[in-house]
Each structure stands twice: as structure tokens, then as C-alpha cells.
Copies of this chain bind each other. A is one copy, B any other.
């Protein structure tokens, strides 16, 4: 009988999350029951939203239960199946969790989906052609609603979501301006992803300096904002927004690890007649086919660039996740299982 290595959540963070919150657990592997599929997970996706689930607090997602496998999206290969729709060798994307093997009930909608790994790399289904890409597509096209010639600002611009936002904005004739942490990430955002400008938020000691840098990068103001970070970055962007600007609120990672960060100047929402919409892409399943069609075609055609940081082995998942919360990853953070 094979052994399945898993990462469990064993305690909730008080303040910053730490490695102590996780534990490596080895469990025997069971055979699939009726309708179940056994998947050998190849890649695990690490995403900022997981931090929220570690708290036992009201949020859009239910808290991650203690003493159970950390939930998360995976891609992998079917190794055994008692569901007529899946055969060994099928490549699948699903909710496999932080573990080497997942036993999934394929009869539950949304749990498992076959993918074509010949034209698109398997790992891309966790990034540009998966939830992060669709998140970018939804927030940009449905909330920001950019028009050619407008300026779109996105934070965490080198990340899985942000990099897609900027490239989709450029494809729509917009000026794309990013925020990222560090000169390397900023160079990647402009030189490789093709953004018009990228601001290194770590190079600015205070919000005034950050605002000044944004002002220089956005001579015509900001029409749309795709927000992943919150805090001073969002404050600076709001202060630079044109009348009737639109803000897709996707994440506020700067406040996940500890106290929420107040919005310093909410009166700007009134003065500039701004619209903010918080969203979760899983609540808008109707747009996934259209989004995945565009994203898949762009990736297959080499017109949507993305970058991955891959941690090796399930044991590395907790540290990789903690690094993601601190912005240590460069592009989509994955774990090879």
C-alpha cells in the first residue's frame, strides 16, 4: 500500500502565519470507491486567498478545517478511476489539495475537469489558463471595462493574476501600469510582459513618494484599477484616479497577515465618483468558458506570457506559501508534488 504525504492545518495564525500552523502527515492510500477518481497530483497551486481561510473568521470562504488536508487546486494524472468519464492517463485539473494523491468524487460538479496538456503546459491550468487568469479576465473586462486609450493600474503586477491583467489591458489598447516589489520584478513587468511602466513599491519609503511615482507613470490619470494588494498602494491609486474610475477589488494581501489596513481617503470615492466592486471569480462561473477560450488561445499562441516559481516536493509547500504572502515568489507560485 502506497503512502500519501499531506500537509494539514493544525493551528490558526495569531498575526502572521508561520510554519508551525502546518504539519506533514503520512497516510495510507485508499482505492477509489464508486464515482471516485484517484489522481497523482503533479502541481499544487498556492494562492493568497488561502491565507484568509486559515482564520476562523467571517469571510467569503469557509475556514479551512483544522486537522485536515489544506485545500487547494491541483493538476495531475488519473491513476485509477471508478467513474465512467475518467481513465488512467487522463490529465485533470481539480481540487486536489496539499497532497501527493487525491481521491476525488468526479460526480460532484466542479471538482474535476479533463484538460488538454498537448497545446498548453499542464501547469498553466493553475495560472494563466486557470483561476488566476479568469480572475484577471473577469475583473478587467467586467468591472474595469477598459476602453482603448485608457490607463489601467494593477498591483502585484508580476504575479499570476496581475501579469494577465496588464497583458489583457494592452491587448485592448490601454496603457498598462503595474506595481511590483523589487527592480527585477519591475524589469520583467515592462520588458517581458510589455507593460508601459512598473513602480517598485519597495523603493518608496512613504505614501507621498509612492503617489509621486504613480503620477509620473500615469500622465493622464488612472481610469481602471485592478487591486490585489490594498493598503498604501490602493490609497495612492485612488488619489490618482480620474472621474468615473472603476476599481476591481480582487485582493488585499497587504492586510492578510495581521490587522486590516484602513482606507485613508474614502472621500475620494465621492469626489471622483468612483466605483469599487469586490468579487470572487468562482461566483461568476458563467463567464469561465469565454474567458478560458481567450486565455487558452493567447497562451497556445505564445501571446500571453507568464512566469512560475516552483517549489520542489510537498514538504516545501508551507515555506513556499509563507514566501508568497511576503512577495518572495516571482510569478505563479506552484509546488511540484
Question: A residues bordering B, Cβ < 8 Å?
Answer: 52, 58-60, 230, 234, 243, 249-252, 255, 260-267, 269-280, 283
Minimum CB–CB distance from A85 to chain B (whole Å) comes to 32
Q: Are A273 and B266 in contact (CB under 8 A)?
A: no
10 cross-chain CB contacts under 8 A: A250-B270, A252-B266, A252-B267, A260-B264, A262-B263, A271-B278, A273-B279, A273-B280, A274-B277, A275-B276
> Using Cβ atoms and an 8 Å threshold, which residues of chain B touch A283?
273
Partner of A59, one of B52, B234, B271, B277: B271
> Using Cβ atoms and an 8 Å threshold, which residues of chain B touch A59?
271
Partner of A260, one of B230, B267, B273, B279: B267
Q: Are A276 and B273 in contact (CB under 8 A)?
A: no
Cα distance A77–B251 when bound, in Å?
Answer: 55
Centre residue among A59, A234, A271, A272 by max chain B CB count within 10 A: A271
Cα distance A263–B34 when bound, in Å?
Answer: 51
> Using Cβ atoms and an 8 Å threshold, which residues of chain B touch A270?
60, 249-252, 278
Partner of A278, one of B234, B264, B274, B279: B274
Q: Are A277 and B275 in contact (CB under 8 A)?
A: yes
Minimum CB–CB distance from A51 to chain B (whole Å) comes to 12
Q: Which 5 A-B pairs have the closest CB atoms?
A: A262-B262, A263-B263, A270-B278, A263-B266, A269-B278
Partner of A230, one of B52, B234, B261, B267: B267
